[in-house]
């Protein structure tokens, strides 16, 4: 067993605890959490005294692309389509082994920055393999592409094979999910087929949706950068009647309570009704939204309507280095959150968004002992201390009671 004591404990599901302690069993689950004078000290438990720190649940990164680790600064285009084209080009030059190594580096980088759970999307399969290899916690959404309807059948045949191959890595705390990439790379037929496959296997869905303004132009009027590219490739208009990106998702069976909408910037009131009706969740990536599109997502409206919402770093090609604490500060400014609301979005909110809140996201009896220790500093409240910290201030990170980052061995 392991017993940790800290000047402040932030369970998130309950108020802050001064002079708190937490007791963890040999399986990595929390068995007691509360004031240090109440939490038992079994004689066989290893004890660690954390002193002037805030101990809180490990951060949940609801959107990453860890196979792109190492590509920070490699693509600087302002134009979104140029940027994507260049990302595809640099990926083509990286070997399978290099993707695996990059994914492992990315996971370790997350741990060192206080993140214990990632919800990742990628096309190589390297991340699910790396999560499994490192005994890490996360969902790896495997991407499928094919803008032309006639590409659907061959793309699905390859995709089913890929998922069968990757499924052996979905053990322990590593899970696999499905991700039809985005409306400018996926046909309606492919959305339908891949999401039916996800439902048949009971796995979650993640989609990049309502992100660049030209996504709406593609679907509503067949104009803009994506429509121009489709025309050059001889791909037909996706729909004769104008439909919004979110409406297109609904039409092809994408939206459900197990669907994570990544970015979701360009959303009208009608779109929002669809999201509410289907109970989707949102991965909010404020710094990526700012960098690529110079805009913000309607976070307050999402929360007023009761949508689950987590924070995401997106890839380090978009924003480097990935820093969920910096995302939280940005999100707080955009939404006008209190410190408590912001810390919740970093932890339990993210866990709710990706469907893992029964297992993690708060320090509660029975949940995994995923934790991060941050310095208390001069701040007046433990929540403010968390939000003042940056990724390099993390003192230690535990995953299921196992210390995965930090100087002292727990
Ligand atoms: Zn992304």
User: In angstroms, what is the span from residue 282 Cα to ligand 1's centroid?
Assistant: 12
Burial 108-142 (b: 16+ CB within 10 A, else e): bbbbbbbbbbbbbbbbbbbbbbbbbebebbbbbbb
In this prediction, residue 409 carries a pLDDT of: 39
Which residue intervals of the chain bear CATH 3.20.20.140? Answer: 59-353
Distance CA 146, CA 379 (A): 51
First-last CA distance in the chain: 10
| Residues 246 and 275: beta-carbon distance below 8 Å | yes
User: In angstroms, what is the span from residue 312 Cα to ligand 1's centroid?
Assistant: 9
User: In angstroms, what is the span from residue 64 Cα to ligand 1's centroid?
Assistant: 6
In this prediction, residue 205 carries a pLDDT of: 98
Ligand 1 (ion): residues with CB under 5 Å are: 314
User: In angstroms, what is the span from residue 33 Cα to ligand 1's centroid?
Assistant: 36
| Residues 331 and 337: beta-carbon distance below 8 Å | yes
Chosen CATH of 59-353 out of 3.90.245.10, 3.40.50.300, 3.40.390.10, 3.20.20.140: 3.20.20.140
User: In angstroms, what is the span from residue 315 Cα to ligand 1's centroid?
Assistant: 6
Report the DSSP beta bridge partners of residue 117. Answer: 60, 137
User: In angstroms, what is the span from residue 161 Cα to ligand 1's centroid?
Assistant: 24
User: In angstroms, what is the span from residue 325 Cα to ligand 1's centroid?
Assistant: 18
Question: pLDDT per residue over 320-334, tens digit each?
Answer: 899 999 999 999 999
User: In angstroms, what is the span from residue 53 Cα to ligand 1's centroid?
Assistant: 33
User: In angstroms, what is the span from residue 206 Cα to ligand 1's centroid?
Assistant: 10
| Residues 296 and 265: beta-carbon distance below 8 Å | yes
Distance CA 311, CA 329 (A): 11
In this prediction, residue 393 carries a pLDDT of: 94
Q: At what angle do helices 80-92 and 225-233 cross, to 10 degrees?
A: 50
Q: What is the pLDDT along the chain (410 residues), one digit of tens a residue?
A: 999 999 999 999 999 999 999 999 999 999 999 999 999 999 999 999 999 999 999 999 999 999 999 987 777 777 778 888 887 888 888 899 999 999 999 999 999 999 999 999 999 999 999 999 999 999 999 999 999 999 999 999 999 999 999 999 999 999 999 999 999 999 999 999 999 999 999 999 999 999 888 999 999 999 999 999 999 999 999 998 999 999 999 999 999 999 999 999 999 999 999 999 999 999 999 998 888 777 888 999 999 999 999 999 999 888 889 999 999 999 999 999 999 999 999 999 999 999 999 999 999 999 999 999 999 988 779 999 999 999 999 999 999 999 999 965 33
Overall pTM surpassing 0.85 (yes/no): yes
User: In angstroms, what is the span from residue 65 Cα to ligand 1's centroid?
Assistant: 6
User: In angstroms, what is the span from residue 103 Cα to ligand 1's centroid?
Assistant: 15
In this prediction, residue 253 carries a pLDDT of: 97
In this prediction, residue 85 carries a pLDDT of: 82
In this prediction, residue 112 carries a pLDDT of: 97
- Topology of domain 2-57+362-406, CATH: Urease, subunit C; domain 1 (2.30.40)
User: In angstroms, what is the span from residue 268 Cα to ligand 1's centroid?
Assistant: 21
User: In angstroms, what is the span from residue 6 Cα to ligand 1's centroid?
Assistant: 36
DSSP 3-state of 255: coil
User: In angstroms, what is the span from residue 181 Cα to ligand 1's centroid?
Assistant: 9
User: In angstroms, what is the span from residue 63 Cα to ligand 1's centroid?
Assistant: 7
């Amino acid at each position: 067993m392991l017993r940790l004591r800290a000047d402040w404990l932030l369970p998130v599901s309950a108020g802050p605890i001064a002079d708190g302690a937490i007791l963890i069993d040999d399986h990595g689950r929390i068995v007691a959490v509360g004031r240090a004078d109440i939490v038992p000290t079994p004689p066989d438990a290893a004890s660690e005294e954390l002193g002037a720190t805030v101990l809180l649940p490990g951060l949940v990164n609801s959107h990453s692309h860890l196979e792109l680790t190492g590509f920070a600064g490699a693509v600087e285009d302002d134009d979104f389509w140029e940027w994507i084209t260049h990302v595809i080009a640099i990926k083509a030059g990286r070997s399978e082994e290099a993707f695996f190594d990059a994914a492992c580096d990315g996971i370790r980088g997350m741990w060192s920055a206080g993140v214990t759970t990632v919800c990742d999307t990628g096309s190589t399969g390297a991340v699910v393999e790396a999560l499994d290899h490192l005994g890490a916690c996360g969902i790896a959404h495997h991407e499928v592409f094919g803008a032309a309807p006639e590409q659907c059948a061959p793309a699905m045949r390859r995709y089913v094979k890929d998922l069968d191959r990757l499924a052996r890595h979905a053990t322990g705390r590593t899970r696999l999910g499905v991700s039809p990439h985005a409306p400018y790379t996926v046909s309606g037929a492919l959305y339908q087929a891949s999401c039916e496959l996800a439902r048949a296997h009971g796995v979650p869905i993640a989609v990049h949706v309502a992100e660049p303004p030209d996504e709406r132009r593609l679907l509503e009027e067949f104009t803009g950068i994506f429509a121009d590219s489709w025309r050059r490739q001889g791909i037909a208009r996706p729909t004769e009647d104008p439909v919004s990106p979110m409406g297109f998702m609904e039409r092809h069976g994408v939206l459900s309570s197990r669907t994570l909408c990544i970015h979701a910037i360009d959303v009208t009131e009608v779109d929002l009704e669809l999201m509410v009706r289907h109970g989707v969740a949102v991965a909010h990536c404020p710094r990526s939204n700012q960098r690529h599109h110079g805009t913000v997502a309607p976070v307050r409206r999402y929360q007023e309507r009761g949508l689950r919402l987590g924070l995401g770093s997106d890839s380090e090609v978009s924003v480097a280095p990935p820093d969920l604490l910096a995302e939280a500060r940005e999100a707080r400014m955009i939404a006008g959150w209190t410190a408590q609301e912001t810390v919740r979005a970093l932890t339990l909110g993210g866990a709710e968004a990706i469907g893992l809140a029964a297992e993690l996201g708060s320090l509660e009896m029975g949940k995994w002992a995923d934790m991060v220790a941050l310095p208390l500093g001069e701040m007046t409240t433990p929540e403010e201390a968390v939000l003042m910290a940056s990724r390099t201030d993390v003192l230690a990170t535990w995953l299921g009671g196992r210390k995965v980052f930090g100087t002292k061995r727990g």
